[in-house]
């Protein structure tokens, strides 16, 4: 296949590039490096089946030749980045999705949208199933990301219904692993970075809020299976094993042998109290569930960050 990945130099996008290259496909990655990094794809630079285009996908996208599939992963995705780039986040969710869908329509390509568990907002249903409509604050600081993704889902379904574009929507839950940016504000790199430096781990609120963490290789496998499926409605991909942030921080301190403990700070505005996917749909339709255990995934991620920090 010949596959276009927007946001191809990002955390998840770069792992998707690796996956499809390893499978034998040709990959074209688009990125403007607002939050993506050239370091994430430098190992692919001279690969004969990898091509890179530096571009803002909110502008017109021109790609020569046929395309079999477009995976739209371009967007700031962490609280630090989408609060720093609120207009760009809204533009890539709206204009970028429009441009990518237009290219899929013109090329007759299958289209997969990277959506997010943030479309569920502060959930009133637990765990979150795909048929839950969500409880989102449309005016809060996180709304630039939440509503951009909700709009992107609506536009994707509109192109599917009005133009018969072959579409997929993946709702991604908390994902971690190598190539997470240390300074992007997400809980895993934040806590691991502090632990490696021997600092107290910052937990917001009392730490009772929950998350579930999926290792990136499991996520990528789920995305590939969804792309190959016939499911056009949203599908959750994530790890259903839920734990509190306090427990998670304690586990990181134990794995890194960090004696500095935990400090507690006020919770950010609209920080969800619970976040856990119902993955029964992915199990049923894709025969998928996560395989990498938390301790195994954290060990790999800690080793990656320790090496990165040592080299800096």
Cβ pair 93, 75 in contact under 8 A: yes
> 154: burial class by Cβ within 10 Å (0-12, 13-18, 19+)?
exposed
Establish whether 145 is a catalytic residue: yes
Please enumerate in sequence order all residues whose Cβ is within 8 A of that of 140, keeping only pairs 6 or more positions apart, or say none.
269, 270
Distances (CA, A) of 176 to 173, 274, 292, 294: 10, 18, 11, 10
Closest by Cα among 135, 146, 212 to 174: 212
- Region at 137 (left for phi over 0; alpha for psi -120 to 50; beta for the rest): beta
Residue carrying the six token digits 């997929």: 168
Q: How far apart are CA 221 and CA 209, in angstroms?
A: 28
Count of CB atoms situated within 10 Å of the CB of 36: 25
Catalytic annotation, pick one of 82, 85, 120, 145: 145
Cβ pair 109, 69 in contact under 8 A: yes
Q: How far apart are CA 81 and CA 88, in angstroms?
A: 10
Catalytic residue list: 145
């Amino acid at each position: 296949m010949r596959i276009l990945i927007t946001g191809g130099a990002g955390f998840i996008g770069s792992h998707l590039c690796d996956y499809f290259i390893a499978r034998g496909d040709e990959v074209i990655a688009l990125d403007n490096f607002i939050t993506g990094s050239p370091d994430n794809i430098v190992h692919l630079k001279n690969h004969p089946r990898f091509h890179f285009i530096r571009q803002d996908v909110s502008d017109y996208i021109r790609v020569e030749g046929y395309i079999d599939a477009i995976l739209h992963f371009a967007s700031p995705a962490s609280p630090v980045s989408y609060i720093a780039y609120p207009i760009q986040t809204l533009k890539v969710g709206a204009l970028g999705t429009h441009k990518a869908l237009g290219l899929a329509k013109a090329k007759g390509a299958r289209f997969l949208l990277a959506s997010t568990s943030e479309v569920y907002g502060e959930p009133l249903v637990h765990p979150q199933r795909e048929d839950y409509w969500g409880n989102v604050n449309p005016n809060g600081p996180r709304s630039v990301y939440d509503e951009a993704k909700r709009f992107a889902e609506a536009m994707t379904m509109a192109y599917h219904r009005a133009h018969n574009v072959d579409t997929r929507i993946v709702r991604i839950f908390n994902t971690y692993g190598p190539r997470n940016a240390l300074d992007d504000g997400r809980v895993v790199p934040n806590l691991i970075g502090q632990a490696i430096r021997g600092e107290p781990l910052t937990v917001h609120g009392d730490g009772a809020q929950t998350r579930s963490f999926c290792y990136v290789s499991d996520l990528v496998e789920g995305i590939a299976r969804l792309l190959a499926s016939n499911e056009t409605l949203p599908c959750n991909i994530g790890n259903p094993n839920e734990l509190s942030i306090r427990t998670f921080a304690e586990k990181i301190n134990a794995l890194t042998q960090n004696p500095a403990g935990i400090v507690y700070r006020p919770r950010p505005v609209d920080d969800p109290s619970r976040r856990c996917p119902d993955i029964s749909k992915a199990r049923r339709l894709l025969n998928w569930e996560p395989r990498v255990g938390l301790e195994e995934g954290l060990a790999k991620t800690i080793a990656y960050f320790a090496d990165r920090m040592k080299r800096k």
